[in-house]
Structure formats: structure tokens, C-alpha cells
Amino acid sequence: MINLFNTHIASLSIHRVGNKSKNEPILLSDDVYKMDDEITPLLKEYFLKPFRDKEENYFQFVNEADLEFHELFTCATQIFDNPESVHQQSKKITQHLYDQSTHQLIKSGEVYVAYLENLQIDNEKVNAVGIFKSELKQDFLQFSEQENQINAHLQQGVSLSKLDKGCIIFNVKKEEGYKVLSVDSNRYDTRYWLEAFLGVEAFEDDNFYTKKYLKFCQDFAKDVVLPAEDKKEEVLFMNRAVNHFAINDTFNEGNFMNDVISNPDLIPEFNHYKSETAPKYKIEDLTTFPIANTAVTAARKKIKNVINLDTNVQIKLDFINPESADKFVEKGWDEEKQMYYYLVYFNKEQKS
């Protein structure tokens, strides 16, 4: 969990990179940007708002040989060890970004490298390095007055309502490659930002394991529970799975199977499915881990609890009270109509 409310921009350097393959130039500023009380809060909101609104999926720097050969890891370490070096390191960071800007779709833009103080991550106050890039320009009108006449001038600039690309490198977990958050609003060059420039992989923490295990459960429900039983049981399985995660602080696979798998015949199917697909989710040897509540909340929002019927009828099951579906919803077969049906019991209709 992060808190960016009290974040302070201690230093900011602004450079510009073009597309190297098109022989567009790079411009490295000689000095740090001199901030003022008017523009600083606007830039802070521009930089940090996407991270407040985004699910916290952390990354970490990786290198096949050693992290000391990772360009951004080295630059970040130099800054954390000596914050006075941030402007010099910002030039190296921008040059590294320029060297990766070789695909024809990559757009030129401004690069902002900030040294950030007073961030909170997992209830710990830390500093961080922020790297942001603005790419898309918007037209706007600038007006001037001349005697009794107003003139309009068409100009281009950066809209502060949407950051194109950005990352925050938190000064934690250095040995694992730091914890890194990334945003990318433009999907046409994702590999360029995450892989070529940042050189990161998913950070395998509690949030990662919780999310991956729930995704594994979701696919098991779709691939095994649904064919073996029906849509209602698929929905109820995921309902029980999410609720199990929600009410426990620590995951234990044995307890999970006892609580969630209502049909004993599906237990060997569950074990077989995991052995076959575990590498895909990186949960091969995962049987216990601390549960991340933020990942459970995010998963609950994404999981569908609706049964869609081919008669244009929808049945929505309650994730908060799953026992209602077990008690009051029955599935059957009508011989006369040669159709399946759902029988729903209730005392009275609720007002909307």
C-alpha cells in the first residue's frame, strides 16, 4: 500500500528525447529545473495522480548476469546514495531512454527525472526516483490584445490531465532490484518502456502471489468446474475462493481446498490442474503465503457473478452472501419444454 499525499519533489530535471532511428536529437539540460510555488503542485499532481488511481502491481529490476550491470538500477542506487548527484544521473537515464528509442512508432517527448521525498510504502516512509515522459501534444489557443483587438494564436503543448509514461523507483528491497511502479497510457510501444528501458519483471511479493493464485482459481473454475458442473457452480466456486482470501490473513492450501471445493471429486482435478498449469502462474511450490487485501479487493471487482442465459435473462448471484444461491437457487430440466431452468425461491421482491 502506498501513500503519496505528502510527497515532496526535492529536485527535478527536464530533458528531451527524440526518436533515435529517425535521427531526432536529444537535449540534455545543463541545470536542474528551478521550480516555483505555482507550477510545482501542478507537476506533482501530473506525475503522481496515475499511480494513486492504479492497482499496485510492483516490478523489480532484473539482469541475467548481475544487477550492477543494470543501467537504471545503477543510476537509482547512485541517487539514493548521493541525492546531490540526481541531475547528473538524470542525464544518464535520459541517454539510456534515447538509446532504446529506435522503433518507428516511438514518439519524441520531454523526460522528467525527479527525486521524491516522504513517500509511504507498506507504512514505511521512503524516498524515491520518479521518471516521467510526456509525448502527445495538444493544440490550444493563446490570446493577445492589441489596442481594441483580440488575436488568437494556435500553439501546441502538454496537457497536465494525462501522463503518457512514468515509473516510481522506491528505495526499498534494493537486493531484489528495488520495488518499481509503472504506468503507460500509450499501448503501441509497451515493450519499449517496460522491457527495453526499465528492464523489469513482476515483483514476487504477497500481492503478486495473491493475484496469481486467484487468477489460477478463476481459470480452474472456467476450465474444470464449469464443464464438470454448471455456470452456477463456477460462479459459486470463485465466490467461495474470494471470500476465503478475504477473511484470512494467511493462505494455506489445505484449508483453502476444504473450505472452497464443495465437490470432493474435484479435489484430484484441482491438484492435477495445478501441477499442469502452475508454471504459467508461478505458483509451482506455493502452498502458504500472507494474503494481500488490495489484491483480493481488485480481484473481486473483476470476477463476474452473473449467469447469462440464451433466453436473454441474467441471474446475478450475491458475492457477499453466497449461501443464498445454494439455498434458494435450483437448476433443473423440463421434459415438456426440453429446456433447463433455474428455480429461485423468495419471500418478497426487494425495492430497487
Residue-level pLDDT at 327 = 77
Q: Are residues 338 and 264 in the same domain?
A: yes
Choosing from 160, 186, 203, the residue where a domain stops is 203
Residue-level pLDDT at 352 = 65
Residue 332 and residue 342: Cα distance in Å, rounded?
6
Residue 315 and residue 311: Cα distance in Å, rounded?
11
Q: Are residues 126 and 257 in the same domain?
A: no
Q: Is residue 245 part of a domain?
A: yes
Q: Are residues 15 and 161 in the same domain?
A: yes
Q: Is residue 218 part of a domain?
A: yes
Q: Are residues 21 and 149 in the same domain?
A: yes
Q: Domain range holding 294?
A: 207-344
Q: Is residue 165 part of a domain?
A: yes
Q: Is residue 242 part of a domain?
A: yes
Q: Which amino acid is at 150?
A: I
Residue-level pLDDT at 167 = 96
Q: Is residue 146 part of a domain?
A: yes
Q: Are residues 84 and 177 in the same domain?
A: yes
Residue-level pLDDT at 191 = 82
Q: Are residues 29 and 172 in the same domain?
A: yes
How many domains, the chain?
A: 2
Q: In this structure, what DSSP letter does residue 123 have?
A: T
Choosing from 203, 235, 262, the residue where a domain stops is 203
What are the grid coordinates assigned to 173, written together? Answer: 528491497
CA atoms within 13 A on the CB side of 270: 20
**Cβ burial 159-178 (10 Å sphere, 16+ → b, else e):** eeeebbbbbbbbbbeeeebb
Q: Are residues 7 and 92 in the same domain?
A: yes
Q: Are residues 215 and 165 in the same domain?
A: no
Q: Is residue 351 part of a domain?
A: no
The residue whose grid cell reads 540534455 is 28
Q: Is residue 72 part of a domain?
A: yes
Residue-level pLDDT at 255 = 95
Closest listed residue to residue 134, CA positions, set 108, 154, 152: 108
Q: Is residue 243 part of a domain?
A: yes
Closest listed residue to residue 225, CA positions, set 177, 263, 184: 263
Choosing from 183, 203, 223, the residue where a domain stops is 203
Q: Within 10 Å of residue 206's Cβ, how many Cβ atoms? A: 17
Q: Are residues 299 and 190 in the same domain?
A: no
Those residues with Cβ within 8 angstroms of residue 138's Cβ, 6 or more apart along the chain or in another chain: 156, 157, 158, 159
**Cβ burial 258-273 (10 Å sphere, 16+ → b, else e):** eebbeeeebeebbeeb
Q: Within 10 Å of residue 114's Cβ, how many Cβ atoms? A: 28
Q: Are residues 31 and 156 in the same domain?
A: yes
Residue 17 and residue 111: Cα distance in Å, rounded?
7
Residue 72 and residue 75: Cα distance in Å, rounded?
5
Q: Are residues 155 and 130 in the same domain?
A: yes
Averages of pLDDT over runs of 10 residues in the chain (352 residues) are 92 96 95 92 94 85 90 97 97 96 90 97 94 91 88 88 94 95 81 92 91 94 91 87 92 94 91 91 90 86 80 76 72 86 83 70
Whole-structure pTM value:
0.79
Q: Within 10 Å of residue 106's Cβ, how many Cβ atoms? A: 24
Q: Are residues 214 and 193 in the same domain?
A: no
